[in-house]
Amino acid sequence: MGKRKVFSKSDLSVPQVEHNNDTVGNVIILPEVIPPETTVVTFGRNTTNTRNFDFARWYGVGIDAITYACQRQIERFLGRR
C-alpha cells in the first residue's frame, strides 16, 4: 500500500473578513473596514528577493468588497506558515 498524503490544518481564524448578514441572509461587508490599513500581502522570500502584492490599486474601482475578500483570504492561507 502506498503512502497517504497528510494535509496540515490551516488556522482560518485570523485575519477574518469583517461582515454582517442582512435580514434576507446576504453577506454584507462592512464599509468602514474597506480598504484595510495594510493593503500589501507579503508572500515570503524566494531565491532573488521578497515577494509581495499591493492591493491598493484595486480599491476604489468599484470592486472593493471582492478585493477585500480576496486579500483577506490570501492572508488566511499564508497565515499558517
Q: pLDDT above 90 covers what percent of the chain?
A: 9
Residue, of 61 and 12, whose pLDDT is higher: 61
What is the DSSP-derived secondary structure letter of residue 34? S
Cα 3 versus chain centre, distance:
32
Q: Are 42 and 52 in contact (CB under 8 A)?
A: yes
pLDDT in tens, 18-48: 777 778 877 777 777 778 888 898 887 776 7
Residue, of 78 and 13, whose pLDDT is higher: 78
Residue 3, amino acid:
K
| Residue 16 pLDDT greater than 80, yes or no | no
| Residue 81 pLDDT greater than 60, yes or no | no
Backbone torsions φ then ψ of 62, nearest 5 degrees: 100, 0
Percent composition of the chain: helix, strand, coil (DSSP 3-state, to 5):
25, 20, 50
Q: Where are the domains of the chain?
A: 20-78
